[in-house]
Amino acid sequence: MASDEQDIVVSPEEEKALHDLFQKLDMNKDGRIDLTDLTKAMENMQLPQVPGHAKQFFEKYDKDSDGQINFDEFVKYVKEHEKDLMSYFKNIDTNSDGYVDAGEIVETFKKLGVHVEKSEAENLLRRMDRDGTLKIDWNEWREYLILTPSQSIHDVLHYWRHSSIIDIGENGLVPDDFTETELKTGIWWRHLVAGGAAGAVSRTATAPLDRLKVLFQVHGSKHNMTIKSGFKQMLEEGGVISLWRGNGINVIKIAPESAIKFMAYEQIKAIFKGDSTKELGVLERLLSGSMAGAISQTIIYPMEVLKTRLALRKTGQYSGIFDCAKKVAKYEGLGSFYRGYIPNLLGIIPYAGIDLAIYETLKKSYMKKNKNKDPGIMALLVCGTVSSTCGQLASYPLALVRTRLQAQVRSEARAKDTMSGIFKHILKHEGLKGLYRGIAPNFLKVAPAVSISYVVYEQARTAMGIKSS
């Protein structure tokens, strides 16, 4: 058979196979494939669906731009795509034995600057492997990838690597790992900017809950506060606008914190790696991330103190961020900008460690149970949300003590207002539950923060020209 642009030779057997596949994709049996057909068919066939790929498929191969692909267009696409897939297959099959194994996948991604554990490579193979040998031949490779853009496996890794860019309203401590290509081409800073924009919008949207959490942590025990009474108190004291007190500096600190953390993380990883060609494991990443988090927190910590003071301020107490900073420095001294620094630093390791460990565990568990299905972005967001929530549970008592110390005016300081003193006081007068005061509004903001952050991040990523592949 032939196309309008060039002759394409297809054997009768190939034409029958392609026609059968076309019939599977043509869900409404009208002789054409549209976007709805393709998306639904790929879901039914348990083929990988990375966000935006179905749309990319149509943009590239719908030659007459009518939103539908006919059989001739489909055949032309398959024959062109097979050439690309064969080239990729030969590049990965380094020993030219006609099969791709886990070791070859690990080595290939290593050349791309992406670290892949052998277990992850084996899970990738299981999605294509029909006979359970953990090796795939050309036919298995072709059948799995024929309906997806050429770099779909890289896309899956991309979403694994960058799921933590989503801002849930708290400080994530282990930064993203960027590939060598992303670092050299400057894609990394676009991701940081997109992530910063997402964080700014999500933090602003959930700021009332964040301020309520701070009020709970500092004043909750005195006023027997509930969520309802807390909101009522804020509205009566300062009106609706008071719900956003402290949000300005919370948004402003995103940029320096992200930049410092990223630069420190890359430098510390380089020290750990040395001259070795071996990629860093989870423990090294945890230590690198924790140290980077400690460095960034040390530098921007005065902004954390100002955020707490501004969130707790009465109407007319401060005219803005600079007025607050000036008054704290004048009446309490520069040392007040680091009140609560020790419990903040001590909370980094348990938070980052539990967050990373649970995220990796959930991700691997998902992959094990869904051998033939790529983890979608929603699955990864759920993994990230659950792991971060667990990390917060472990470090929350330290965060509460930190906030109380930050809120403390030096002239009002009492003997019990040290880290150990506050712990003892809370346990004696409020019990164990006192260490978790304010955690309810903190958890309430997680779901909207994740949703808003993801939507804004995707829009910002697209606007900045960052492709999903």
CATH value at residue 184? 1.50.40.10
Same domain assignment for residues 192 and 258: yes
Judge if 380 and 278 occupy the same domain. Answer: yes
Residues 243 and 101 in one domain: no
Same domain for 418 and 343? yes
What is the domain count for the chain? Answer: 2
In the numeric block, which tokens belong to residue 251? 């948004």
Residues 79 and 224 in one domain: no
Mean pLDDT of the chain, nearest integer? 80
Residue 5 lies in a domain: no
Q: What is the pLDDT of residue 371?
A: 55
CA angle, 303 then 305 then 310, to 5°:
90
User: Residue 411: its pLDDT value, please?
Assistant: 45
Distance CA 310, CA 318 (A): 8
168: nearest Cα among 326, 13, 4, 390? 390
pLDDT tens track for 418-459? 899 999 999 998 899 999 999 999 989 888 888 888 788 888
Does the global pTM surpass 0.75?
no
pLDDT tens figures, 291-315: 888 899 999 999 999 999 999 999 9
What string of DSSP letters covers 176-224? PPPPHHHHHHTHHHHHHHHHHHHHHHHHHHTHHHHHHHHHHHHHHHHHT
If asked whether residues 393 and 452 sit together in one domain, one would say yes
pLDDT at 159 over 50: no
Same domain, 416 and 459: yes
Q: Give the three-state DSSP class for 384.
A: helix
Contact between residue 126 and residue 368 where contact means Cβ atoms under 8 Å apart: no
Phi, psi of 34 (to 5 degrees): -110, 180
